Amino acid sequence: MRALVYQNASLILKHDYPLPAPREGEALIRVLITGICNTDLEIIQGYMGFQGIPGHEFVGVVEQICGDVALSHYGHLLGKRIVGEINAACYQSDCFFCQRDMPSQCPQRTTLGIDRRDGAFAEYLTLPVQNLYPVPEQVSDEEAVFVEPLAANFEILEQVHLHPTDRVLILGDGKMGQLAAQVLSLSGSNIAMIGHNAEKLALAEARGIRTYLSHDDAYFSLEDKHPIDVVVECSGSAQGFETALRLVRARGTLILKSTVAAKSTLNLAPIVINEIRVQGSRCGPFAPALHALNQHLFDIQPLISVCYSLNEGLQAFEYAQQKGVLKVLMRI
């Protein structure tokens, strides 16, 4: 099959990559469309030491299910459009995390396109059948490819109880920041965004979000005039944590969404002195993301910058790394 493969510090397009063989309890999925996210861009900079096919945001069609038990429970998915949770856990009876419904933290897990499992920038991939969710007919491929990053932002609502009176600041106006703004707006909280790009900030403003350019005086006065209860760090930069820590109020909450390959030295004393709660936040629930898309609660189309084919995958990655670009899609 055709696949974009990252190996030996290079991303290359192969036309003869081996077709994946599903194991017992897994499905073979024909990929329809994928999205490039910041984590993919970090992977080709060395994040997680990954080698293989990157990509974890996808929509596909189930072509095969391996195993009689899996087929009996999930046979209705054959031929259907699906999206899939990216963490493939062990689900063993002696696994502390799997038995407590925390498969994303299973120590034996592999992660699609990120850790020891080939990903979605290819014609086919495999995932456990219990990871798969059917896509409603009313939701387009271009909308459904956003389920995984939307779910990651719904995870914030699972982890932190936001009050309507809370002042929430999103640090970063890129892909994740834009989706965070739309999801967190559902909480009724007072949402604001800081970013570098006026055009991107305008997209958030159109959704009723207050915005600040990072070099404006208003940005620097935020911490003095309006204490921020919750800062969501979506900048995608190694310096984002330090900036977020400066903006959040004493006894406030700092939520970390960025994954970066670069290393940085941090002064953690303010966390202790100001009693800051720091919450790492990664993958999240697919069901509410699919429901919200089906109810047309989000405006996804303005977040799509361009769509390439898989054969144009190298150009797609080059374009995705340019400043001002939001979501780059690849139709397989």
What are phi and psi for residue 104, nearest 5 degrees? -70, -10
Domain ranges of the chain: 3-146+300-331, 154-280
d(CA 206, CA 212): 14
Query: Which token pair is 221?
Result: 């006065």
Measured CA angle at 89 (ends 153, 43), to 5 deg:
60
For residue 291, give the nearest of 186, 191, 168 by alpha carbon.
Answer: 186
- β-pair type (110-112, 87-88): antiparallel
Instruction: Give the predicted TM-score (pTM) of the model.
Output: 0.93
d(CA 199, CA 144): 24
What CATH number matches the domain at 3-146+300-331, 1.20.1730.10, 3.40.50.150, 3.90.180.10, 3.40.605.10? Answer: 3.90.180.10
d(CA 135, CA 147): 10
Q: What is the CA radius of gyration of the chain?
A: 20
Q: Please report the pLDDT score of residue 222 as a whole number.
A: 58
- β-pair type (3-7, 110-112): unpaired
Asked if 156 contacts 184 with a C-beta cutoff of 8 angstroms, the reply is yes
**In a 3-state reduction of DSSP, which class is residue 329?**
strand
d(CA 238, CA 42): 11
Asked if 212 contacts 193 with a C-beta cutoff of 8 angstroms, the reply is yes
Q: What is the DSSP string of 215-259?
A: TSHHHHHHHHHS-EEEEEE---STTHHHHHHHHEEEEEEEEE---
Tens digit of pLDDT at every position of the chain (332 positions): 999 999 999 999 999 999 999 999 999 999 999 999 999 999 999 999 999 999 999 999 999 999 999 999 999 999 999 999 999 999 999 999 999 999 999 999 999 999 999 999 999 999 999 999 999 999 999 999 999 999 999 999 999 999 999 999 999 999 999 999 999 999 999 999 999 999 999 999 999 999 999 876 655 565 556 689 999 999 988 788 888 998 999 999 999 998 876 777 778 899 999 999 999 999 999 999 999 999 999 999 999 999 999 999 999 999 999 999 999 999 99
What is the largest distance, in Å, between two alpha-carbon atoms of the chain? 63
Sign of the Cα pseudo-torsion (251, 173, 258, 35, in order) = positive
Q: Which CATH architecture has domain 154-280?
A: 3-Layer(aba) Sandwich (3.40)
Q: Please report the pLDDT score of residue 219 as a whole number.
A: 56
